[in-house]
C-alpha cells in the first residue's frame, strides 16, 4: 500500500503508543521475524512461502481454508511492505485508540481487515465468472496479504469521524481535508500501481467508516460501553453473513477453482 502521512491532530497533551496499537505492531513484526528465520526472503517472499504463512488465495481460502480471510492480514510481502503498513498503523492507530477506546479500536481493526479480505474475495469471484466467458490471465485469482485493509479501515474511520462535530469529551480534533487527501492518494495509488490489492483497501475503509459513524451516534447519545459492544457484535454477525453469501457465489465456480488450485500447486511444487 502507499505510504501514509500523519494527519494534523490538535491536542493539549502528547500521548505514547497505545497498548492495542503496540500489540498489533508486535504481532506483525514478530511474525515477520519468524518468517525470516524460517527462510522466507526478507525483501521478496515467494508465493509458496506466502501461502504457507497464511496469505489469502481465493480458491484455497473458500474451498478449503477460510481462516486465511483472517490470517492474511498478518503476512507481508517483504520488509518495505511491512514498514509502510506498520508506520501507518503507528500513526493512525494511536489516534484511533485514543478516540474510540481500546476495545472498540481492537474490534474495528480486525473487522476492517476481514472486510478487506472479503471484498477482495468477492472481486476474485466476479473475475472467475468472467473467466468462464472469456479467458484472460488478468482474471485469475491473485495471492493477497498484508495489514493494508485493516489500516485503511482505521483511516476510513478517522476520515468519517472528521465530518462530524467533535463530541464534548473528544480528546483529539481531526483535520478533514488532510485525512481526505491521504485516503484519496492511497486509493489512487492502489488503482494506478500494479500488484496492489485495492479491493482490500476499499473493503477495510468501508467497514471502518461504518463502525466510526455507529460509534459517534452512541457516544453522542451517551449510550455507554454496552452499546459499543453491541455494535461490534452486530458487525461480526453481518460479516459472517457476507462470508456465507460469498460461499454461495463460489458454488457454481468451485470446479474451476479446484482446477486452478491444482495447477497452482503443481507450479509451486506443493
CATH code: domain of residue 183: 1.20.1540.10
Cell of 108: 474495528
270 assigned to some structural domain: no
Q: What is the pLDDT of residue 167?
A: 86
Cα(162)–Cα(179) distance, integer angstroms: 8
**Do strands 143-144 and 56-57 pair parallel, antiparallel, or not at all (unpaired)?**
antiparallel
Which grid coordinates belong to 75? 503476512
pLDDT beyond 50 at 8:
no
Residue 9 forms part of a structural domain: no
Decide if 7 is inside a domain: no
* pTM of the complete model: 0.90
Domain boundaries, position 140: 14-255
In a domain? residue 264: no
155 CB-side CA count, 13 A: 36
Domain assignment present for 95: yes
153-164 residue pLDDT tens: 999 999 999 999
Residue 5 lies in a domain: no
Q: Strand, coil or helix: what is 143?
A: strand
How long a stretch of residues is the chain?
270
Band the pLDDT of 68: cuts 50, 70, 90: very high
Assess whether pLDDT exceeds 50 at residue 11. Answer: no
Question: Is 193 in a helix, a strand, or coil?
Answer: coil
Q: For residue 266, is it within any domain?
A: no
Residue 130: pLDDT above 90? yes
pLDDT in tens, 162-217: 999 988 887 788 889 999 999 999 889 888 877 788 999 999 999 999 999 999 99
Distance CA(190)–CA(201), nearest Å, equals 8
Number of domains making up the chain: 1
**What is the per-residue pLDDT for 25?**
98
Residue 107 lies in a domain: yes
Amino acid at each position: 500500500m502507499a505510504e501514509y502521512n500523519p494527519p494534523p491532530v490538535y491536542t493539549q497533551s502528547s500521548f505514547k503508543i497505545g497498548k492495542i496499537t503496540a500489540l498489533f505492531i508486535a504481532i506483525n513484526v514478530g511474525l515477520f521475524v519468524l518468517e525470516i528465520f524460517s527462510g522466507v526472503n526478507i525483501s521478496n517472499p515467494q508465493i509458496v512461502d506466502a501461502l504457507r504463512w497464511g496469505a489469502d488465495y481465493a480458491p484455497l481460502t473458500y474451498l478449503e481454508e477460510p481462516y486465511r480471510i483472517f490470517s492474511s492480514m498478518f503476512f507481508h510481502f517483504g520488509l518495505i511492505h511491512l514498514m509502510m503498513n506498520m508506520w501507518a498503523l503507528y500513526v493512525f492507530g494511536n489516534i484511533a485508540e485514543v478516540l474510540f477506546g481500546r476495545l472498540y479500536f481492537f474490534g474495528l481493526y480486525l473487522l476492517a481487515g476481514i472486510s478487506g479480505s472479503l471484498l477482495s474475495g468477492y472481486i476474485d469471484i466476479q473475475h472467475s465468472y468472467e473467466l468462464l466467458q472469456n479467458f484472460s490471465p488478468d482474471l485469475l485469482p491473485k495471492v493477497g496479504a498484508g495489514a493494508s485493509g485493516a489500516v485503511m479501515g482505521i483511516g476510513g474511520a478517522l476520515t468519517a469521524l472528521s465530518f462530524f462535530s467533535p463530541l464534548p469529551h473528544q480528546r483529539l480534533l481531526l483535520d478533514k481535508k488532510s485525512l481526505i487527501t491521504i485516503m484519496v492518494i492511497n486509493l489512487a495509488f492502489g488503482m494506478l500501481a500494479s500488484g496492489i490489492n485495492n479491493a482490500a483497501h476499499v473493503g477495510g475503509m468501508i467497514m471502518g467508516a461504518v463502525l466510526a459513524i455507529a460509534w459517534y451516534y452512541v457516544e453522542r447519545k451517551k449510550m455507554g460501553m454496552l452499546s459499543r459492544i453491541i455494535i461490534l457484535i452486530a458487525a461480526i454477525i453481518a460479516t459472517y453473513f457476507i462470508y456465507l453469501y460469498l460461499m454461495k457465489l463460489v458454488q457454481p465456480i468451485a470446479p474451476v477453482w479446484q482446477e486452478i488450485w491444482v495447477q497452482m500447486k503443481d507450479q509451486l511444487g506443493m
